[in-house]
Amino acid sequence: MNGTIFFGGFDMISLQPITWDNYWAVIQLRVDEVQRNFVADNIVSLAEAFVAHNQNNYTPITRAIYNDETLVGFLMVSYLKNGHEYDLEDAPFTSDGSPCYLFHRFMIAKDHQGKGYGKEALLQIIDYIKTKPQGESKYFYTSIEPENESARIVYKKVGFREDGRIIDDEEMFIMDI
């Protein structure tokens, strides 16, 4: 996908595939030290995507987040249905057991936070997930550590609402798609 938008005069956020050209830089992106508990290291997410591909014949959606030519972040979304859940034993399946999309990794590197990039990247991935790229679903889920106020604010700004459930000590958020 190549969704892009101009704002602030010169900034242009886009979501790009992980390739041989950028994977190492993606692995080296870091959040602030006090945020490390909020999101897995990107190398772990990419390893999980590899294992899901090998063991479950399923490839999560992974994207590098760019501002113009500058790499600023990373995200990962999985389409959860029977056989896709890999290590997510408590996957937040919908009450009727239907498949759902789960936004389970999202980070903007420390030096690039607070500039609107996270919100714009979120709007773009939401638009993409609404196209149901890996299969039908009515729901898009995400989750946060209860003390992650920035994520709580940003997710609500783009249309997620509290789901009311806590899974693996994380508060679930939901969006109808």
Instruction: State the residues that interact with ligand COA by CB under 6 A.
Output: 31, 35, 38-39, 106-108, 113-119, 144, 148-151, 153-154, 157
Judged by CB, which is closer to ligand COA: 119, or 132? 119
What does DSSP assign to residue 125? H
Judged by CB, which is closer to ligand COA: 112, or 138? 112
| Strand-pair partners of 12 | 6
Judged by CB, which is closer to ligand COA: 31, or 61? 31
Rounded to a whole number of angstroms, the minimum distance from the CB of residue 119 to ligand COA is 3
Rounded to a whole number of angstroms, the minimum distance from the CB of residue 47 to ligand COA is 18
Judged by CB, which is closer to ligand COA: 53, or 157? 157
Hey, what are 47's tokens?
């390893």
How many whole angstroms separate alpha carbon 100 and alpha carbon 176? Answer: 10
Judge contact between 91 and 58, C-beta under 8 A: no
Judged by CB, which is closer to ligand COA: 149, or 176? 149
Phi, psi of 171, rounded to the nearest 5 degrees:
-80, 130
Q: Which residue has the tokens 């995200």?
A: 75
Task: Compute the half-sphere exposure of residue 155: CA atoms within 13 Å on the CB side of its CA.
Answer: 25
Rounded to a whole number of angstroms, the minimum distance from the CB of residue 57 to ligand COA is 27
Extended beta strands in 9-99, E state:
11-16, 61-67, 70-80
